[in-house]
Structure 1
Amino acid sequence: MTEQPTGTAVPEAAAADAVASVPEPAAEPAPAAPRRSRRVLWAAARWTAAVVVCGGVGAGTAMGITAMDRTDVPGLATESDGRWEYPRLRLPALPADRPRPFTEGNDGEIHYADVRELLLPAPVGATPDPELTGGFVSTEAYLSLYAKEFRDDLRKHLADSTLRHVAARGWTTPDGTRTSIHLLRFSSVAYAESYKDLALEMDGAAGPKALPDGVEGVVPEAFADDIEVPETSMYVYREKKPYGPEQVRWAYVQAGDTLALITQTRKGEAPAVPFQQTVTLQNQLLG
């Protein structure tokens, strides 16, 4: 006979249930992050937002600059094309109740403004000519621009005309280009045209009869149509090769009662761009 163990025996299933019913100890809560870590995270978030905003602003600025012309952006400019920098031009005031030369009622196409105030000013950086300061000059001073063989004939035509004044201005730019502008004001458009046609004998193919001093051959030139001034006429020439140590460019502008002579001379070759610019601006002042 088998001997039974003393004490109360616990079935295996009951023991397993008992073990399962014992609650596991609760997990300890994670330690709170230090305050410094939170500040670091918050600063990082702020810097991230700032970078995003700055990136957007930078992209917008770049788009704005690329959409602008280089000359519109401060500090950037295209390479100079040879034009000179002139002061801002303004038409002079007229005497009371006097019209502009090409307005209704001014049949003589007369410039009632002081002809000296219609002279183009010298460009920035130019050295003024001490003999051509923007005032009135003598007829002989004007005639000295032409070769000697033409002066007597021109002098006779001027004596027969009703020439009122000759105003002149001159300057030399740093590149050595010498410029002179003479404005001959007659009593009406009829006299101005008569002197131009009979004395100077302007011809589109052969050029004018009277040539500047030292010039032997002439080549007529033409300007672009978009820079022409209504009611005025331009006649533009340059000295033909071969020429001496200097080249001459000159132009006449006939605007009502006033005839302008613009000349530019430079050692080697007279540049075309500032010449066209100067003639165009003087034409605009007269028109």
Structure 2
Amino acid sequence: MKLLRFGPAGQEKPGILDADGNVRDLSGKCPDFAGAGVSLEALDAIRAIDVTSLPVVAEPGRIGSCVASVPNFFCIGLNYAKHAAETGAEPPKEPIIFNKATSALSGPFDDVVIPKGSVKSDWEVELGVVIGKEASYVSEEDALSYVAGYCVINDMSEREFQIEKGGQWIKGKSAPTFGPTGPYLVTADEVDDPQTLALSLDLNGETVQDSNTDDMIFSVKEIVSYMSQFMKLQPGDIIATGTPSGVGMGMKPQRFLKPGDKMTVRIEGLGEQEQTAVAYE
């Protein structure tokens, strides 16, 4: 299934894409796609619905983040071999885990607001993993059975805030609009292998990131299992699994976002996003 949320910010409704690519309204048939609303049980209940019986949304308008009110917005750092190389970092021996503030979550086509005082706002296409049931001390063998689905994420980053201001990376990752997510939550049964997905990001029509999830240092199953050794993952949690090479910080000379820049972000089978960078007002 391809699930989505449509409508004005704060008033989104749950929807599903039908076989012809039409948006069907799930309002009243299921809760919003948040927390227990994306549990494996909730997704099974949606599967039991006759999609053709649902009303077609002729003009869905704005598409919101495919998940809402996430309990946790986790990220994995330096998880692509070529990206680690472009930053001059040693490939990590264990996954690097950090957070984005959940208030960074935004729609896949919403404008990205360059934060006040920012001079180094950067882009990062990433495979997003949405957890579908509580995961604690799970094995790698079983880890993918805890995944509700996958989505496209642009893990926006302000590099000065992240690297030059001390402390943890969360400061550079958490500005409002710094978490475009979606357009779809694609359920796990539609993704045969999360380690064979092409992903790319275009900046003003120029492809700057072009890779495949097979370059990930730690696979999705390794990440989910590893994280579950230290915390209980919950339904609705998002994990952004790292970005490939081609970020602005890694360019020579470095290149960062300016107002008017357009990003097109895509992952094979999961859909495409597009954002315009705008100045903070």
**TM-score for the superposition, normalised by structure 2:** 0.25
**Higher relative contact order at CA 8 Å, sep ≥6: structure 1 or structure 2?**
2
- Higher normalized strand content (fraction of residues): 2
Structure showing greater radius of gyration is: 1
